[in-house]
Structure 1
Amino acid sequence: MTQDAKLYQYFFQWMKLYKLDAVRPVTYRKYEMTHRQLVYLAPELRMSELTRLTYQQLLNDYAASHERQTVMDFHRHIKSSLIDALEEDIIDRDPTRKAIIKGIQHRQHKTKFLNQHEVQELLNTLVLDEGVNWDYFILLVAKTGLRFAEALAVTPNDFDFAHQYLNISKTWDYKSAKAGFAPTKNKSSMRKVQLDWQTVIQFSQLTKNLPADEPIFVRSKVYNDTVNHYLERLCKKAGIEVISVHGLRHTHASLLLYAGVSIASVARRLGHSNMTTTQQTYLHIIQELENQDNDKVMKHLASLI
């Protein structure tokens, strides 16, 4: 590869050489996305033409339609490849130095979740006497707060019914053409989720004659939309707000917070890498609970004479 090569060509060769089979497939697909953006935004930009100005213009073009965090990820991918190009004398200076990361204003994504009454109405619609079905899948997510890919990967062997917990140590790569078991999102995602006795009874019966090491809910290619559409029908049948499977995860966490469970415990149960993620995701609930606590504090202080 020489200075006459185009940037997207160098990046493509670089990601195949250094990233293919070295990172998780889901991560590699993000590098492929960066490559596609380079082809789209800078199809003629050559390595010899890379300067701080041309690189900043590339970032600005990308930032015109993406949020700042997404632009930061895009920048990190390209910067990593160009640092190697610098060491290989393909370029003679780092064009990414002092780059300014911009981006469109962060979109406020409303976190949808159900209250306890609505959850009960949803669970009442589930059919749990016909063997393995999506109703059991929805029940599992509602009771554990698992991520979609984590719940898909659950096998009978993952249950410890005697000690009432579910061992989460893997996910199911449902997005890949060669679907199969994959690592968890992060180290903190590997965890033991405590189960209530009702869930223990229900799943001990369900898994009794199932293959021990095979995923319970995967029989063929699985699509997130398929399960979300099924859940949508159940929500409408129950007469409650329509939410997604991920919304059930939010619901699980919110109910625990309202019940007085600590943020630290909720973070561990959800498999968050740190409490900051939990605090940011459920900030509105935490603020509401803090207001309730303040009311309690004032009432207590006012009672002191």
Structure 2
Amino acid sequence: MTGNTTDKETLFCDYYTQWVDVYKEGAIRDVTMKKYKLTEAWLSKLIPDLRLADMDRVNYQKLINGYAEYHERQTTMDFHHQLKGAILDAVDEGLIQRDPTRKAIIKGRPPREKKTKYLNQFELHAVLADLDLGTKPSWDWLILLVAKTGLRFSEALGLTPADFDFVHQTLSVSKTWDYKNGGGFVPTKNASSVRKVQLDWQLIMQLSALLKDLPENEPIFVNGKVYNSTANNVLARHCEHAEVPVISIHGLRHTHASLLLFAGVSIASVSKRLGHASMNTTQDTYLHVIRELENKDVDIVMRALSTLI
């Protein structure tokens, strides 16, 4: 790079590592940074000795092909996009003669069979009926709460009794629990994730009894080290017992959103309730539901028009 000893003889792996450190460190979220670090690891495995001067279209395509042998096409596409930013900078600096990513063919393994992401209303009812809701907070209580609010797992873990306003039937989401890194309260995923979620009266009655003697500012569902897999295993057992498709805790969030959309709730309202950064995120995530609703709308429009004669 400009102002250092980088030249055409520099290994591409080293250039990419330095590029990530200079341009990405501190500018992106930790979860995104981990993806760049994974890309670094794959470069060291696939092209450890390739120089910047040798990064042409053929060698770039070989790199993409090598990565695609182990990954699905969409994952390979993400790998390609992560490399492209660094490569275009190297082209601008004259370290690579021409853009080797131009017209690259993105391959990949056939996608795995998609797991069921959400349940329908009857399946969800069967799962909730199987819960054992005792007098103390438990994974079963967390499952009920996520099913009825659409909260992210980390948001549910970050809840304290003080976050509940039983008079106005609302729940304030203002923080999450950093269960992946040893615990502790951390900010929400984005600014839009800070929100108030309306609760139904039945859940309010249940929670007011559950929380009445708990410390106001301590997490309700955290007791020592917390693992997402533990909660998923508990939910899986309930799904199997209720004889419905097995979904994850995050799948409960999808279920919540899908049921609201099918009930006629607007995309804008669902987006706000889920704490999405924009309605585009909601539309992209629930495109399958939206398309199904559009097909129903066509039938409604045709029936309405047929009565005009």
Give the TM-score normalised by the residue count of structure 1: 0.85
Which whole-Å CA distance do the structure 2 matches of 1:74 and 1:268 have between them?
31
Which whole-Å CA distance do the structure 2 matches of 1:281 and 1:23 have between them?
22
1:258 aligns with 2:262: yes
Which of 218, 232, 235 matches 2:222?
A: 218
Matches within 5 A, 1:127-276: 127-176=132-181, 178-276=182-280
How far residue 22 of structure 1 moved from its aligned partner, in angstroms, is: 4.2
Contact 2:88 2:99 in 1 (8 A): no
Q: CA RMSD in A?
A: 2.8
SS where residue 166 of structure 1 aligns? strand
Amino acid corresponding to residue 166 of structure 2 in structure 1: F
How far residue 109 of structure 1 moved from its aligned partner, in angstroms, is: 2.8
SS where residue 179 of structure 2 aligns? coil
CA deviation profile, 1:191-219 (whole Å, cap 9, x unmatched): 22211122223223333333333322122
Which whole-Å CA distance do the structure 1 matches of 2:173 and 2:11 have between them?
44
Q: 1:73 to 1:185 in 2, by over 3 A?
A: farther
Contact 2:177 2:184 in 1 (8 A): yes
Structure 2: runs of 5 or more not aligned: none
Contact 1:68 1:101 in 2 (8 A): no
Which whole-Å CA distance do the structure 1 matches of 2:161 and 2:97 have between them?
55
How far residue 135 of structure 1 moved from its aligned partner, in angstroms, is: 0.9
Which whole-Å CA distance do the structure 2 matches of 1:94 and 1:184 have between them?
42
Amino acid corresponding to residue 232 of structure 1 in structure 2: A
Provide the residue aligned with 2:75 in structure 1. 70
Q: Give the length in aligned residue pairs.
A: 303
Provide the residue aligned with 2:63 in structure 1. 58
Which whole-Å CA distance do the structure 2 matches of 1:75 and 1:231 have between them?
36
Which whole-Å CA distance do the structure 2 matches of 1:265 and 1:300 have between them?
26
Which of 12, 15, 36 matches 1:10?
A: 15
Matches within 5 A, 1:19-38: 19-38=24-43
Q: 1:83 to 1:288 in 2, by over 3 A?
A: closer
How far residue 123 of structure 1 moved from its aligned partner, in angstroms, is: 1.7
Amino acid corresponding to residue 117 of structure 1 in structure 2: F
SS where residue 167 of structure 1 aligns? strand
